[in-house]
Amino acid sequence: MSRLNLDDFSDLIERPDGGVRRDAEARRERQSVPPGALGRLDELGEWLAAAQGAVPVRPVERPRVVLFAGDHGIAELGVSARPAGSAAELVRAVLQGASPVAVLARRHEVPVRVVDLALDCDPGDLPEEVGRHRVRRGSGRIDVEDALTLDEAEAAVRAGAAIADEEADSGTDLVVLGDLSVGGTTAAAVLIAALCGTDASVVTGRGGLAIDDLAWMRKCAAIRDALRRARPVLGDQLELLATVGGADLAAMTGFLLQCAVRKLPVLLDGVVAAACALVAQRVAFRAPDWWLAAHDSGEPGQAKALDRMALEPLLIQGVTLGEGVGALLALPLVQAAAALAAELPERVDTEPVPAEPMPE
């Protein structure tokens, strides 16, 4: 197998159709509700039209939640409120319909796909469909060792790209992207700090279950130590993912890049998705035009990454859980924008009736 060259993605990714977007804007100006009266819904409808290459915009009828799962060795340091190696429990809760994202997905009738890239459990413990893209069991402790080998990082990126192709080929028209990980926010913060040139304290958040002050200090120290290992490899994004990422984060990066290649729009969830998007932006600067930031999770690293990509969150609900929950909450907003853009009638402009001449 030839070595993966991430720079190839930059040549393959085009921006959404600017001409179609201008047509969508012109159509919006002709509709019965004045432009601007619907706020960001106007912008969303026009963005979606450009992504689809269609005016009027088509309804979002086949969305799908895709969750990348993995355990991170850095969790052994007590940087997460969940025990190290317990991400498989999160996966089981989703598969059993007992997690928040599963409840919301049922309500919105959206299928959920879970992909195991690096869970720290026996592959036989989960359905074969979940584990068929697994790269390894767990990831290395990034403060003292690489998360992956370079070959494993390449395999994970390729797996993510293959999953994007599977979704595009199956007719998925919008992806709700999230993660199921333990220690993933720590790895994400390292990637963001490295790519934005900031210190550990600027990007260290409390995670999905709000760790206490002592755990936050441990997390900050772990990010600081991992940053020292990340900075020398900033020029090579594949090596960066191998050094301080993880198989789930590398796969999510490949997934985002290939979604942009396939012109498949993506709703980004929390800080992990934002970190992978930031790596993907470094690979292909046009790629973020295919993504929407679904919500503000309150994680400082997410805010830093979204600002760097000029992506503004659609919602601010204080959802810190991860697992795609915040992104799924934003899905109806995107669907509403599509419906309004497509179904609002255009104004009927009538000629003024000439006045009757005054009698002499």
List the 63-71 sheet strands across, edge first.
Answer: 112-118, 63-71, 174-182, 266-268, 291-293
| CA dist., res. 181 & res. 242, Å (int) | 17
Name the catalytic one among 14, 323, 346, 351: 323
- Do 9 and 238 touch, CB atoms closer than 8 A? no
Domain ranges (residues) in the chain:
64-331
Q: Are strands 112-118 and 174-182 parallel, antiparallel or unpaired?
A: unpaired
pLDDT in tens, 237-293: 999 999 999 999 999 999 999 999 999 999 999 999 999 999 999 999 999 999 999
What pTM does this model have?
A: 0.94
pLDDT in tens, 179-198: 999 999 999 999 999 999 99
- Do 180 and 121 touch, CB atoms closer than 8 A? no
The answer to whether residue 167 is catalytic is no
Rounded to an integer, the average pLDDT of 6-30 is 94
Quick one: angle between helices 237-244 and 271-283, nearest 10?
150
- The domain over range 64-331 is classified in CATH as 3.40.50.10210: yes
Mean pLDDT of the chain: 94
